[in-house]
C-alpha cells in the first residue's frame, strides 16, 4: 500500500480518501491514518465484499469492514457512500453501518463548516443499489445477467442539482468514475474508485501516461482508472484486490488530499 498525496485548489480540509477496501483487514490503513491525522476521512464505497446473490452478503460477517468504519469514525469525521458491493443492503443493514459512527451519504449531502468555510459533501450511490431498490434487478441475478440487461444501471441524479447549487465548496463521493458526465460543472472535487487501477497497469508510450487494462463497467483499456482526471476528479486505485488475478504495476493506495 502506498500513500498518494494531492494538492487541490480551494480544498478546505486535509482529507484521507479510502476506496474499495472490500472487507480487507484494516490494520495497515488505520496505521497510515493515525500517522497523518486528517480532518476528514471519506470512503467512496465497496467497503463490504460480496457481489452476487443477497445471501452472499451478511453484513454481520463483514467484521473487517465494520471495524474499519468504527475506527475511522473514532479518528475523524468520516463520510461514506454506497458502491456496487453495497447494492443489496436492507434498511436494517444501513442502520448497522450508521451505528459505527460514520455518516452514510445515500444520494444525499451534508453541509459542514470547516475553517469558517461552507463545505458541501454528497454521496452518489451506485446505480446497482438504485436499480435493486427500485426492483429493476433482483438479488438472484448474477452480475453477467444484470450486465446483459442493463450495461451499467444509471444512478439517481435528481438530488445533484440541489447539491451543486448549494453555496460552498462541493465534494462528491462517487464510486463509479464513469458517472462523471452526470456531475454538474460547479462541483469542485469528485472522488471515485471502483476501477481498481485497471488491475494491470502499463506505461502508454503514445500518451506518456500509466493506464489500466480492464475495469468493471468500463471494460478493456478503460480511460478512468487512477490519478487526477479533468482537473477535478481524483480516482483511487483502491485498497484491496478482490479479483482472482493479481494486480500488476498497481500498488494499492490510500489518497491524501490537501488544499492549496
Q: Under the rule (CB under 5 A), what is the footprint of Fe ion?
A: 46, 83-84, 194
Q: Which residue is nearest to Fe ion (CB)?
A: 194
- Tell me whether residue 21 or residue 119 sits nearer to Fe ion (CB atom): 21
Q: How many residues does the chain have?
A: 260
Conformational region of residue 151, where left means phi above 0, alpha means psi within -120 to 50, and beta covers everything else: left
Please check whether residue 127 is in contact with residue 163, taking contact to mean a CB–CB distance below 8 angstroms: no
- Tell me whether residue 26 or residue 83 sits nearer to Fe ion (CB atom): 83
C-alpha pair distances (Å), 87 with each of 109, 128, 191: 19, 6, 19
Cβ at position 125, least distance to Fe ion in Å: 12
Give the DSSP letter string of 27-52.
Answer: HHHHHHHHHH--SEEEE-S--S---S
Conformational region of residue 132, where left means phi above 0, alpha means psi within -120 to 50, and beta covers everything else: alpha
Cβ at position 141, least distance to Fe ion in Å: 17
Cβ at position 241, least distance to Fe ion in Å: 13
- Tell me whether residue 129 or residue 163 sits nearer to Fe ion (CB atom): 129
Diameter over CA atoms, the chain: 50
In three-state secondary structure terms, 155 is coil
Cβ at position 105, least distance to Fe ion in Å: 16
Cβ at position 235, least distance to Fe ion in Å: 12
Of the candidates 102, 146, 101, the one whose C-alpha atom is nearest the C-alpha of residue 123 is: 102
Cα of 187 vs its chain's centroid, Å: 16
Cβ at position 217, least distance to Fe ion in Å: 8
- Tell me whether residue 194 or residue 237 sits nearer to Fe ion (CB atom): 194
Cβ at position 83, least distance to Fe ion in Å: 4
- Tell me whether residue 50 or residue 122 sits nearer to Fe ion (CB atom): 50
> Which residue is it, cell 464505497?
45
Rounded distance between C-alpha atoms, residue 172 and residue 195, angstroms:
17
- Tell me whether residue 32 or residue 44 sits nearer to Fe ion (CB atom): 44
- Tell me whether residue 114 or residue 182 sits nearer to Fe ion (CB atom): 182
Amino acid at each position: 500500500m502506498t500513500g498518494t498525496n494531492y494538492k487541490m485548489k480551494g480544498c478546505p480540509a486535509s482529507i484521507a480518501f479510502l476506496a474499495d477496501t472490500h472487507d480487507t483487514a484494516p490494520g495497515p490503513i488505520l496505521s497510515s491514518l493515525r500517522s497523518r491525522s486528517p480532518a476528514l476521512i471519506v470512503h467512496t464505497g465497496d467497503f463490504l465484499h460480496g457481489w452476487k446473490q443477497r445471501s452472499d452478503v451478511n453484513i454481520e460477517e463483514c467484521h473487517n469492514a465494520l471495524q474499519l468504519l468504527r475506527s475511522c469514525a473514532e479518528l475523524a469525521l468520516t463520510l461514506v457512500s454506497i458502491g456496487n458491493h453495497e447494492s443489496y443492503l436492507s434498511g436494517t443493514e444501513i442502520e448497522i453501518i450508521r451505528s459505527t459512527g460514520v455518516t452514510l451519504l445515500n444520494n444525499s449531502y451534508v453541509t459542514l463548516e470547516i475553517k469558517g468555510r461552507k463545505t458541501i459533501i454528497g454521496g452518489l450511490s451506485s446505480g446497482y443499489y438504485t436499480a435493486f431498490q427500485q426492483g429493476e434487478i433482483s438479488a438472484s441475478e448474477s452480475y453477467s445477467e444484470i450486465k446483459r440487461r442493463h450495461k451499467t444501471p444509471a444512478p439517481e441524479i435528481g438530488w445533484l442539482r440541489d447539491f451543486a447549487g448549494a453555496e460552498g465548496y462541493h465534494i462528491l463521493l462517487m464510486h463509479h468514475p464513469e458517472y462523471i458526465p452526470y456531475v454538474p460543472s460547479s462541483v469542485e472535487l469528485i472522488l471515485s474508485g471502483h476501477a481498481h487501477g485497471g488491475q494491470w497497469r502499463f506505461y502508454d508510450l503514445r500518451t506518456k501516461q500509466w493506464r489500466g487494462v480492464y475495469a468493471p463497467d468500463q471494460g478493456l483499456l478503460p480511460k478512468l482508472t487512477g490519478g487526477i482526471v479533468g482537473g477535478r476528479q481524483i480516482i483511487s486505485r483502491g485498497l484491496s484486490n478482490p479479483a482472482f488475478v493479481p494486480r500488476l504495476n498497481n500498488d494499492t493506495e490510500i489518497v491524501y488530499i490537501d488544499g492549496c
